[in-house]
Amino acid sequence: MTRIAYVNGRYVPHGQAAVHIEDRGYQFADGVYEVIAIHQGNMVDEKGHLDRLDHSLGELQIAWPMSRQSLQVVMREMILRNRITNGMIYFQISRGVATRNHAFPDDTESALVMTVRHSPPLDQTAAAVTGVNVITIPDIRWARRDIKSISLLPNVLGKQQASEAGAYEAWMIDGDGNITEGTSSNAWIVNKDGDLITRDASHAILNGITRLAVLDLARAEGVTFVERPFDVAEAKDAREAFVTSTTSLVKPVVRIDGDPVGNGGIGMLTAKILSFYTDHMKAQGSAV
């Protein structure tokens, strides 16, 4: 079956999808994006992703390319046309096509592109027994990390550094020595008192939708959590650690810079959080 993409109002074969060379997303990274997990044909935490999209567009003064309701129709049509049961939907919105100039153009229409791809069904058992390594690196990004901008070069460099070190992720360190987040995920630890800790949402991090879902689930399940900065020493002294994102879900971290976290295995609270979140996904996947 031919894979289908969406480009500015048209459904086209993926291999033929293209944007104008003066699209400001291409020339200036002047745009935003979202990635939404698809489970059993339904989008996971759809409202949260669209709310964050609204925030990102508003902060950059980029107009919605269509109404929120129309965007939801296009997303569902893309899932149907590509026959996706489990996978990811990616879309980005740029300020549009205009003669190259740093200042905003006076008259231009926002540009929208969208793709979807298949991924294997959720394997909760495998996720619960497979831990990953992370390394720590300086955070060299701009100061508005709450905007889900398509300008990701520092994240790309950090992820490559992690890959070359044989690690899954790189946790970035700010000027105060505190961990902000991963290159494509939020960072979490469980301290010796059993408290769940993650960086508070501000301009310093991207407020992950999976992060928000985990906080809601922790609250509902009576898990004590704290939103505050933590440094590398505290992370390495933690009982447990994990990362969250749309693509990683809840992934246990067993080593930081080569040092084992806790006993070097999957922590009990991390396993519970993973179970809570997979139940959350399945509940949305079974929704009508």
Which one from 148, 159, 192, 236 is the annotated catalytic residue?
148
Q: What angle do CA 141, 226, 32 make, to 5 degrees?
A: 35
The letter for the amino acid at 167 is: A
Q: Is there a catalytic annotation at residue 236?
A: no
Question: What contacts 194, CB < 8 A, 6 or more positions away?
Answer: 224, 239, 269
Question: What contacts 256, CB < 8 A, 6 or more positions away?
Answer: 133, 134, 135, 136, 171, 232, 235, 236, 241
Q: Are 263 and 141 in contact (CB under 8 A)?
A: no
Which residues have a catalytic role annotated?
148
